[in-house]
C-alpha cells in the first residue's frame, strides 16, 4: 500500500504533464487484451473520459496491446448501477467507476464521505482522500474487501441542491420541498433533518418527474446535473458543501492478480493518473456549468457562514443516526463505526 500511495502522489504532481510523460517506457504484454469499463454517468461526462484516458494511457504504454471500451450509463447491466458493480465483482465486466453512494449498497461504511459538511473545500477533500490521506487509507481496505482492486478515488463532487420553487438559504426554505435523492441512509437522514419531503428515484426518471412537477428539486454535482439537462426544468440552485460524493475507480481483483508485476504497476500508475485527471476536470466543470446555467436564467445562491451553521446545526445528529443504523441493520460494531467516522470528523 505504501508503494502504491507513493506512485499515486508522484503521478498527481505530474498529472499536468499528460499521459505522454511515460510514453517511452513500454511494458511488454504477451497477448492483446480488451477490457470493459462501466460507469453510471453519461458518455459526455468526465466519468467516461476517465475510462477513455485510462485506456489510452495503457495503449500508449503497451504498443496498443491493451485497449479499453467504455460503457456509459451502465449499458452492460441495462442501466442498473448496483448490477454494474456486481458485474465487476463477478468478473463479467473488468472495471467500473461508481459513486460511494451506490457502492455503499455493498458496504454501508462507504457512505462516511457523504456525512453533512465534513469537507469545507476541495483542499479538505484532497487532504483526506488524496494519496496518503487518512481517508484513503481507511476506505481502500473496505473497497478491496468486496473483491475489487482500487485503482484510484476520483470525484463526483459536492452535491448542490436545485429546485423550481424558490431560493434555499435556510432549513426553513427547504421545508416540505419534494427533493429527489438517491436511496442511501445518510441522505435520507440529512434531508429529513433539513426539513425536506425527500423522495427516492432512479436518476433516469428524474428529468421527467421534475418536468411534470412530481418532484420540486434534486441534488447532484453540477456536471452530473447538467448532463441530465436539469437547468431546463429547475430555476434555483444552492451551491454549497453540504454533501460530498466520491467515485471509486475499481478493477476486478482476479483480473488484477492475473497480471504480471510489471503490468500491475502500470495499471496502478494509469489508474492513479486517470483519477487525478478526472478530479481536475470535474472541478473545472463546475464553473462551466455555473456560467451556462446563469445565462439560461438559473439563480445561484451562496450561503454565508451563519446560513451554513443553521444547516450544520439541523443535521448535527446525522452521523449518530447513520452509525446506529449501520450497527443495528448491517452488523458493524460501535467501535468500528466510531473509528471510521473519527477519521472524517476530527
State whether residue 68 is helix, strand or coil.
strand
What pLDDT sits at residue 9? Answer: 41
CA nearest neighbour of 245 among 291, 199, 182: 182
Q: What is the edge-to-edge ordering of all strands in the sheet holding 236-239? A: 199-200, 179-181, 217-220, 160-163, 236-239, 299-302
What pLDDT sits at residue 1? Answer: 44
Give residue-wise pLDDT tens across range 48-81: 999 999 999 999 999 999 999 999 999 999 999 9
State whether residue 196 is helix, strand or coil.
coil
CA distance 335 to 194: 28
Domain with CATH 3.40.190.170 in the chain: 2-156+246-285, 160-242+287-345
Q: Is the pLDDT of residue 306 over 90?
A: yes
pLDDT band at 286 (very low <50, low <70, confident <90, very high): very high
Give residue-wise pLDDT tens across range 224-244: 899 889 999 999 999 999 999
Decide: 252 and 149 in contact? Cβ < 8 Å.
Answer: yes
pLDDT band at 262 (very low <50, low <70, confident <90, very high): very high
CA angle 218, 105, 148 (to 5 degrees): 120
Q: What is the pTM of this model?
A: 0.86
Instruction: Indicate left, alpha or beta for 256 from its phi (over 0: left) and psi (-120 to 50: alpha).
Output: alpha
Measured distance between the N- and C-terminal CA atoms of the chain, rounded to whole angstroms:
24
Burial class (CB in 10 A: 0-12, 13-18, 19+), 39: buried
What pLDDT sits at residue 10? Answer: 39
Write down the residue that cell numbers 432549513 correspond to. Answer: 171
State whether residue 67 is helix, strand or coil.
strand
CA distance 202 to 77: 14
Q: Is the pLDDT of residue 127 over 70?
A: yes
What does the H/E/C string look like for 238-274?
EECCCCEEEEEEEEEHHHHHHCCHHHHHHHHHHHHHH
Q: What is the mean pLDDT of residues 113-121?
A: 96
Render 204-245 in DSSP notation, one character per residue. Answer: GGHHHHHHHTS-SEEEE-HHHHHHTTGGGT--EEEE--S-EE
CA distance 102 to 338: 22
Q: Which fold has domain 160-242+287-345?
A: D-Maltodextrin-Binding Protein; domain 2 (3.40.190)
- State in words which class domain 2-156+246-285 has: alpha beta
Give residue-wise pLDDT tens across range 12-47: 444 443 444 444 589 989 899 999 999 988 898 889
What pLDDT sits at residue 203? Answer: 80
Decide: 119 and 244 in contact? Cβ < 8 Å.
Answer: yes
Q: Is the pLDDT of residue 2 over 60?
A: no
pLDDT band at 165 (very low <50, low <70, confident <90, very high): very high
Q: What is the mean pLDDT of residues 264-284?
A: 93
What pLDDT sits at residue 24? Answer: 55
| Mean pLDDT computed over every residue of the chain | 91
Instruction: Output the CA torsion sign for 57, 58, 62, 65.
Output: negative
Instruction: Output the CA torsion sign for 41, 46, 52, 55.
Output: negative
What pLDDT sits at residue 35? Answer: 98
Beta partners for residue 252, in sequence order: 148
pLDDT band at 11 (very low <50, low <70, confident <90, very high): very low
What pLDDT sits at residue 23? Answer: 46
Amino acid at each position: 500500500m505504501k508503494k502504491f500511495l507513493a506512485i499515486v502522489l508522484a503521478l498527481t504532481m505530474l498529472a499536468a504533464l499528460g499521459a505522454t510523460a511515460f510514453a517511452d517506457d513500454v511494458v511488454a504484454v504477451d497477448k492483446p487484451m480488451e477490457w470493459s469499463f462501466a460507469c453510471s454517468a453519461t458518455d459526455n461526462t468526465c466519468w467516461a473520459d476517465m475510462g477513455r484516458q485510462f485506456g489510452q494511457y495503457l495503449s500508449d504504454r503497451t504498443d496498443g496491446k491493451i485497449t479499453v471500451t467504455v460503457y456509459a450509463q451502465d449499458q452492460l447491466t441495462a442501466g442498473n448501477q448496483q448490477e454494474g458493480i456486481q458485474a465487476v465483482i463477478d468478473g463479467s465486466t473488468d472495471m467500473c467507476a461508481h459513486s460511494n453512494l451506490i457502492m455503499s449498497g455493498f458496504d454501508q461504511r462507504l457512505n462516511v464521505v457523504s456525512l453533512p459538511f465534513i469537507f469545507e473545500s476541495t483542499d479538505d477533500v484532497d487532504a483526506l482522500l488524496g494519496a496518503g490521506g487518512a481517508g484513503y487509507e481507511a476506505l481502500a481496505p473496505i473497497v478491496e474487501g468486496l473483491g475489487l482492486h482500487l485503482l484510484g478515488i476520483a470525484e463526483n463532487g459536492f452535491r448542490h441542491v436545485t429546485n423550481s420553487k424558490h431560493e434555499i438559504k435556510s432549513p426553513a426554505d427547504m421545508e416540505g420541498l419534494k427533493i429527489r435523492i438517491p436511496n442511501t441512509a445518510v441522505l435520507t437522514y440529512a434531508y429529513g433533518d433539513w426539513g425536506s419531503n425527500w423522495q427516492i428515484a432512479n436518476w433516469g426518471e428524474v428529468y421527467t418527474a421534475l418536468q411534470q412537477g412530481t418532484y420540486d428539486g434534486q441534488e447532484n454535482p453540477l456536471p452530473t446535473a447538467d448532463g441530465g439537462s436539469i437547468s431546463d426544468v429547475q430555476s434555483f440552485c444552492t451551491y454549497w458543501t453540504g454533501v460530498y460524493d466520491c467515485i471509486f475507480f475499481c478493477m476486478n481483483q482476479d483480473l488484477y492478480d492475473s497480471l504480471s508485476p510489471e503490468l500491475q504497476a502500470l495499471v496502478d500508475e494509469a489508474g492513479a493518473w486517470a483519477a487525478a485527471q478526472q478530479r481536475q476536470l470535474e472541478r473545472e466543470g463546475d464553473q462551466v456549468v455555473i456560467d451556462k446555467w446563469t445565462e439560461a436564467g438559473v439563480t445561484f445562491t451562496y450561503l454565508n457562514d451563519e446560513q451554513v451553521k443553521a444547516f450544520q446545526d439541523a443535521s448535527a445528529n446525522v452521523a449518530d443516526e447513520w452509525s446506529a443504523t449501520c450497527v443495528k441493520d448491517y452488523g458493524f460494531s460501535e467501535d468500528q463505526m466510531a473509528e471510521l467516522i473519527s477519521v472524517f470528523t476530527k
